[in-house]
Amino acid sequence: MARSLCPGAWLRKPYYLQARFSYVRMKYLFFSWLAVFVGSWIIYVQYSTYTELCRGKDCKKIICDKYKTGVIDGPACNSLCVTETLYFGKCLSTKPNNQAKLGDQGNLSELVNLILTVADGDKDGQVSLGEAKSAWALLQLNEFLLMVILQDKEHTPKLMGFCGDLYVMESVEYTSLYGISLPWVIELFIPSGFRRSMDQLFTPSWPRKAKIAIGLLEFVEDVFHGPYGNFLMCDTSARNLGYNDKYDLKMVDMRKIVPETNLKELIKDRHCESDLDCVYGTDCRTSCDQSTMKCTSEVIQPNLAKACQLLKDYLLRGAPSEIREELEKQLYSCIALKVTANQMEMEHSLILNNLKTLLWKKISYTNDS
């Protein structure tokens, strides 16, 4: 008889455990499903954006249709549309609408003559209607304009040809200042801090890094108050810089290098609440005038200071002990440069020359440089 009172006791505990286990399992499955769903959605959105903006076949068809009907022309059209020796490879960017204006440039007449020379793709001494239309379309792009202006400079990729608003430039072997290239799906799940630390492990030897850094300093000189005006580097990130097999710096993406006059017109009188509202690209910053709640037109940091900020960790990691202290001192002096400082141009030249001299002296007699 006593056993008849016990079944409830020994049955109740297994039911409780089973119910608790079912609840935990359902909760785990729900959150697992949710994570998979959110991850899949992010990958789908990224893939859709990527394929929409990197549609090489569609771009080629549009360009070649215009070429065959005589609407556009250029030295690269035959290779792209007839012999098909020119083809689209890796999509390096999904950023649309990169436009520029000539603005109020110095030596404008010389610049126009330079553009006409480039526009004459077949070098017959005349610019055809198709070539003119192609050149006009290309002049809306910052990068093309800068390549025309700096075509004789060492660190600007050579312009190989164009067809419509497509332009072909010299191939650059290494398309990032440092790091390794990973599939974009993997990039989504790597924290930015860990990615930066990992990237610094995949760099050339220090003498080669120094040579690449000197190339960047020389490029800063090229765009600083040149014969066609001053240009501002508004995205000085490692992915916009590359180098060849001789470790000569080559600019990979110059679309955020803009004429100073254009930037001033673009950002002047923009409504702002704080300085954070007065930014173009990622690195061109002005201040917010709190009395008028408008952005001022003067950029705070010069190109050289932004370049030194990028190079600081790159050069200090693995730097020879005998120059590390002096190198660090010069880099921090460089980063502290302000456009509004008195005698900024003199300081700019002095710091830039000191840095180049320090690096060259150290690597001049090494095999790696």
Tens digit of each residue's pLDDT (9 = 90 or more) over 56-101 = 677 788 888 888 888 888 888 888 888 887 766 655 554 544 444 4
The angle at the Cα of 283, spanning 278 to 286, to the nearest 5 degrees, equals 30
- Listed in sequence order, the DSSP H helices in 275-320 are 303-316
Q: Which residues pair with 163 in a beta bridge?
A: 166
Question: What pLDDT is stored for residue 346 in this prediction?
Answer: 85
Question: What pLDDT is stored for residue 359 in this prediction?
Answer: 95
Question: What pLDDT is stored for residue 14 in this prediction?
Answer: 53
| CATH ID of 203-259+279-284+298-362, from 1.20.120, 1.10.3470, 1.10.730, 1.10.510 | 1.10.510
234: closest CA among 188, 300, 139, 322?
300
Model pTM? Answer: 0.74
More confident residue, 358 or 139: 358
- Distance between first and last Cα of the chain: 96
Tokens of 209: 């890094």
Confidence of residue 225 (pLDDT cuts 50, 70, 90): confident
- DSSP class per residue in 319-357: --HHHHHHHHHHHHHHHT--TTSTTHHHHHHHHHHHHHH
Question: What pLDDT is stored for residue 111 in this prediction?
Answer: 76
User: For the chain, which residues make up each domain, given as ranges?
Assistant: 57-84+105-167, 203-259+279-284+298-362
Question: What pLDDT is stored for residue 110 in this prediction?
Answer: 75
134: closest CA among 111, 164, 172?
164
Q: Is the pLDDT of residue 51 over 80?
A: no
Q: Which amino acid is at 27?
A: K
Confidence of residue 114 (pLDDT cuts 50, 70, 90): confident
Tens digit of each residue's pLDDT (9 = 90 or more) over 146-166 = 888 888 888 988 888 888 888
Tokens of 22: 């079912």
**How far is 343 from 351, CA to CA, in rounded Å?**
12
Rg (CA), the chain: 28
Which residues are within 8 A (CB) of 227 and not within 5 positions of it... i.e. 6 or more apart?
106, 107, 110
